[in-house]
C-alpha cells in the first residue's frame, strides 16, 4: 500500500471518530436545548393562564378548553400542590394517528376557587428537528471528509513529489550503464538530506560494482593463464621416462588438483557474473532444439554408461533468456543427470509450455532437497567441485523462475517452472 493511501486511511479514521463524537454531542445539545424550550413554553403558558383567570372574572368557574392544548376544569376542592409534567400521546384527527405531546397538569387556587389546568404542547416538531440536525451533521461530515481526503492528497502529492522523483531515479538506476546519479533539490530539508545520502550510496555502489567487475575479469584472465601453464608443465613432466611410479602418481594427483582448481575458479567467476547482472542480453530461444543439441553433444558420455534416453519435447516452445546462460543451464543439468546415473539407466528429458523436467535413475541422494543446490555440496562424488547445481539455481533465480528437486520411484527429478512472461510459441 502506498504511503499516501496509508496516511489518508489513518486520517480519515481519526476524522470519522472525531466527527461522530462531535456530532453526537452537538445533536444532544441541540435536542436538550429544544426540549428545555418546550418545557419553558409550557411554564410560560401556565403563568399566562393564571393571569387570564385572575383578570377575566367571566370565565371563572367554567370548564374551558382552548384548542387541543389547554384545558381549565373547575374543582370542588383543592387537593394537591403537585405539578406533573409527562410525555404522552394524543390522537390527531387530521393525521389520523397518535402524536407525541408534553403535558403539564396541576391544580390552581384562585379567588377561593380550585381549578385543574392541563397544558399540552406538541413534540412532533422536536422529532423533525432531531432528524434535520442529524441529516445536516451527516452531510457536513461527508463534506469535511471528502474535502479533507482530496486536499490531503493534493498537498501530499506536492510535498512528497521530491521523494517520488528520487524513487523513479532509483528505479531506472542501472549499474551496467554507470554514470553519476543526480537528485533534484527540494524545499524540504529532510528530502535534501535523503537525496544527498542516496547520491553517496549510488556512487559507492557504482564504484564497488566496477571494482568487482574488474576484479572478476582480471581473475578470470590472470588465474586461468597460470593454471594452464601449470597443467601443460605437468603433462610434459608425465611424458618423461625417468619418473618413478610414485612420482607419476604424485604428478597425476597434482594435475587433478589443478584441474579441480580451474573448474572451481570458473564456477565461482560464473556465479559472481550472474550475481552482478553481467548477462543482461535476452532473446527468444528455441529451448527444444537446444536440448536436443546438448543431448547429441553428450552422446559419448551417454553411450559409455549405456543410458537409455527418453525425450518428450514440444518443439514450439520459445523462452526469453540469455543464450549463454541457457546453454550453461541445460549443460549442467544434463551433465549432472549423466554423471549420477547408473549403468544401463534411464534419462528423461521433457519440455512443455509450463515446465522443463530432467530426470535420471540413480541411488537415493545423501543430501536433502535444499542442500543439493548449495555451493560445495558434493554428495558421494569425490571428483565433483559442488558448484554445478549452485550455478543452475543462480541462473534460475536470475531468470525469475523456480526449480524443484525430488527423488521418487528411483528417479532424481529436476523440474523448472517456466515463467509465463518469458514463454512463447513458434
Q: Which residues pair with 358 in a beta bridge?
A: 349, 414
CA separation for the pair 147, 270 (Å, rounded): 58
CA separation for the pair 301, 284 (Å, rounded): 29
pLDDT given at position 4: 61
pLDDT given at position 29: 78
What are the cell numbers at 34?
429544544
φ/ψ bin of 89: left (φ > 0), alpha (ψ from -120 to 50), beta (otherwise):
beta
Listed residue (407, 381, 406, 377) closest to 390, CA to CA: 377
What single DSSP character describes residue 185? -
- The domain limits of the chain are 3-155, 174-278, 283-425
Segments of the chain scoring below 70 in pLDDT: 1-6, 8, 52-68, 124-130, 176-180, 216-217, 219-221, 241, 264-265, 267-272, 275-280, 369, 375-386, 420-426
Q: Class for domain 3-155, per CATH?
A: alpha beta
Residues in the chain, how many? Answer: 426
Q: What is the pLDDT of residues 289-310, one digit of tens each?
A: 989 998 898 889 899 999 999 9
CATH number for 283-425: choose from 3.50.50.60, 3.30.565.10, 2.60.40.420, 3.40.50.300. 3.30.565.10
Q: What is the pLDDT of residues 9-55, one digit of tens each?
A: 777 778 778 777 877 777 777 777 777 777 777 777 777 777 766 66
CA separation for the pair 317, 336 (Å, rounded): 23
CA dihedral 367, 372, 375, 379 (to 10 degrees): 40
pLDDT given at position 114: 81
What are the cell numbers at 311?
525425450
pLDDT given at position 348: 92
Listed residue (167, 92, 152) closest to 122, CA to CA: 92
What are the cell numbers at 383?
571428483
CA separation for the pair 307, 284 (Å, rounded): 31
pLDDT given at position 220: 65
Q: Which residues pair with 394 in a beta bridge?
A: none
pLDDT given at position 395: 82
Amino acid at each position: 500500500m502506498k504511503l499516501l493511501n496509508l496516511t489518508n486511511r489513518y486520517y480519515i479514521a481519526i476524522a470519522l471518530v472525531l466527527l461522530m463524537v462531535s456530532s453526537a454531542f452537538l445533536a444532544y445539545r441541540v435536542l436538550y436545548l429544544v426540549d428545555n424550550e418546550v418545557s419553558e413554553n409550557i411554564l410560560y403558558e401556565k403563568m399566562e393562564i393564571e393571569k387570564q383567570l385572575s383578570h377575566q372574572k367571566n370565565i371563572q368557574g367554567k370548564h374551558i378548553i382552548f384548542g387541543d392544548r389547554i384545558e381549565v376544569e373547575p374543582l370542588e376542592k383543592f387537593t394537591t400542590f403537585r405539578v406533573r409534567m409527562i410525555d404522552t400521546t394524543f390522537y390527531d384527527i387530521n393525521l389520523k394517528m397518535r402524536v407525541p405531546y408534553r403535558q403539564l397538569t396541576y391544580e390552581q387556587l384562585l379567588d377561593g376557587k380550585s381549578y385543574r389546568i392541563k397544558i399540552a404542547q406538541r413534540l412532533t416538531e422536536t422529532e423533525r428537528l432531531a432528524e434535520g440536525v442529524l441529516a445536516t451533521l451527516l452531510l457536513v461530515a461527508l463534506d469535511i471528509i471528502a474535502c479533507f481526503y482530496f486536499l490531503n492528497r493534493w498537498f501530499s502529492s506536492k510535498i512528497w513529489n521530491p521523494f517520488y522523483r528520487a524513487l523513479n531515479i532509483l528505479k531506472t538506476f542501472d549499474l551496467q550503464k554507470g554514470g553519476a546519479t543526480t537528485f533534484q533539490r527540494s524545499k524540504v530539508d529532510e528530502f535534501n538530506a535523503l537525496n544527498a545520502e542516496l547520491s553517496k550510496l549510488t556512487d559507492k555502489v557504482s564504484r564497488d560494482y566496477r571494482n568487482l567487475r574488474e576484479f572478476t575479469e582480471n581473475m578470470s584472465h590472470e588465474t586461468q593463464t597460470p593454471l594452464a601453464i601449470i597443467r601443460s608443465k605437468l603433462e610434459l613432466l608425465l611424458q618423461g621416462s625417468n619418473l618413478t611410479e610414485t612420482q607419476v602418481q604424485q604428478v597425476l594427483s597434482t594435475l587433478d588438483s589443478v584441474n579441480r582448481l580451474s573448474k572451481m575458479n570458473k564456477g565461482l567467476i560464473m556465479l559472481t557474473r550472474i550475481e552482478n547482472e553481467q548477462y543482461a542480453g535476452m532473446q527468444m530461444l528455441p529451448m527444444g532444439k537446444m536440448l536436443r543439441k546438448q543431448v547429441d553433444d553428450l552422446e559419448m558420455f551417454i553411450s559409455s554408461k549405456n543410458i537409455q534416453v527418453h525425450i518428450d519435447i514440444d518443439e514450439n516452445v520459445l523462452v526469453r533468456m540469455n543464450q549463454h546462460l541457457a546453454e550453461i543451464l541445460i549443460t549442467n543439468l544434463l551433465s549432472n543427470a549423466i554423471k549420477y546415473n547408473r549403468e544401463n539407466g534411464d534419462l528423461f528429458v521433457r519440455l512443455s509450455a509450463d515446465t522443463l523436467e530432467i530426470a535420471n535413475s540413480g541411488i537415493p541422494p545423501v543430501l536433502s532437497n535444499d542442500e543439493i543446490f548449495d555451493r560445495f555440496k558434493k554428495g558421494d562424488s569425490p571428483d565433483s567441485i559442488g558448484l554445478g547445481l549452485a550455478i543452475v539455481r543462480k541462473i534460475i533465480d536470475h531468470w525469475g523462475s523456480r526449480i524443484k528437486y525430488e527423488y521418487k520411484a528411483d528417479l532424481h527429478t529436476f523440474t523448472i517452472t517456466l515463467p509465463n512472461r518469458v514463454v512463447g510459441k513458434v
